């Protein structure tokens, strides 16, 4: 609890016998959780994602990387719900934005290309969304260049951040 309201991961049993097990923010179901209740005297379950107390739907399949050539590490994270849904890709080298990229090519299975700060990607996308980037970059000590190919699939809606480290 925080400030008297459920916050974090926990179980709440209602006076009706209904029960929610999952994540809370500010007293509202928010995140992944399971709500068990009676509906017309039948046991019912809503298992999935919640935001501000509203059920969004089942938990989508986790993002998948289908091609990974020349990437040291990466992360694909959902940063919240989207309106519009979008995917932004950020490029890093030695802990800072990668400024040594050339021959850059990006493609997405849907949406409109978007540049926002250091990120590039797509908004108004449909899921599943497949994104692909190809580019040439320097190695970490700037003695040679190499080709990077990175392709991924995101299955569920939201605002997504993809971080690629070379």
| Angle, CA 105 vertex, CA 97 and CA 152 arms, to 5° | 80
State residue 1's pLDDT score: 86
Q: What whole-number distance in Å separates Cα of residue 29 and Cα of residue 53?
A: 4
Region 81-92: what's the mean pLDDT? 92
| pLDDT per residue as tens digits for the range 4-60 | 999 999 999 999 999 999 999 999 999 899 999 999 999 999 999 999 999 988 888
Residue with tokens 């459920």: 6
pTM of the predicted model, to two decimals? 0.73
Given a contact cutoff of 8 angstroms between Cβ atoms, the answer to whether 153 and 125 are in contact is: no
């Amino acid at each position: 609890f925080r400030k008297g309201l459920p916050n974090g991961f926990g179980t709440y049993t209602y006076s009706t016998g209904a029960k929610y097990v999952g994540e809370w923010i500010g007293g509202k179901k928010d995140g992944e959780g399971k709500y068990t209740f009676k509906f017309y005297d039948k046991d019912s379950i809503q298992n999935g994602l919640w935001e501000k107390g509203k059920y969004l739907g089942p938990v989508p399949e986790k993002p998948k990387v289908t091609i990974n050539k020349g990437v040291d590490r990466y992360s694909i994270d959902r940063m919240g719900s989207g309106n519009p849904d979008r995917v932004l890709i950020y490029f890093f080298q030695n802990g800072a934005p990668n400024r040594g990229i050339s021959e850059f090519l990006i493609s997405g299975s849907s949406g409109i290309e978007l540049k926002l700060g250091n990120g590039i990607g797509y908004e108004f996308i449909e899921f599943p969304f497949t994104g692909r980037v190809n580019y040439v970059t320097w190695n970490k000590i700037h003695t040679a260049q190499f080709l990077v190919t990175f392709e991924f699939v995101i299955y569920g809606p939201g605002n997504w951040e993809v971080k690629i480290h070379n």
